[in-house]
Amino acid sequence: MYPRFVVRDIALTERPVAFRRPFRFGGVAFETAPEVIVHAIPEFEDGRRATGAAERMAPPWINKNAAPSPDLAGRSAGETRSDTAKGYGT
């Protein structure tokens, strides 16, 4: 059985990452991409807490829209967060 936990805090940050050489995908060349960093504090049933962080550079070909609006990006992050919370039963 997996340990049960509740996420007590989560912080999302983003930073630009410049590639050493352009990354080509089809007819498009990318020189930079955003890297997302997630910091989380889960609390287990016995009261123990842990801290952790992970980073992920989203592949640029996932979203064909080269310039999504900040509103769209924010809604997408909110939907992902609520889906994750539902998935873990918090």
Residues 18-34: what's their mean pLDDT?
A: 82
Confidence (pLDDT) at 90: 44
Confidence (pLDDT) at 40: 94
Residues 62-81: what's their mean pLDDT?
A: 58
CA dihedral 60, 35, 76, 87 (to 10 degrees): 110
19 and 52 Cβ atoms separated by less than 8 Å: no
The rounded distance, in Å, linking the Cα atoms of 38 and 71 is 20
pLDDT range class, residue 66, cuts 50, 70, 90? low
Decide if pLDDT at 44 tops 90. Answer: yes
Using a pLDDT cut of 90, give the percent of the chain over it: 31
Q: Kindly give, in sequence order, each residue whose CB lies less than 8 Å from that of residue 45, ignoring residues fewer than 6 positions away.
A: 3, 4, 5
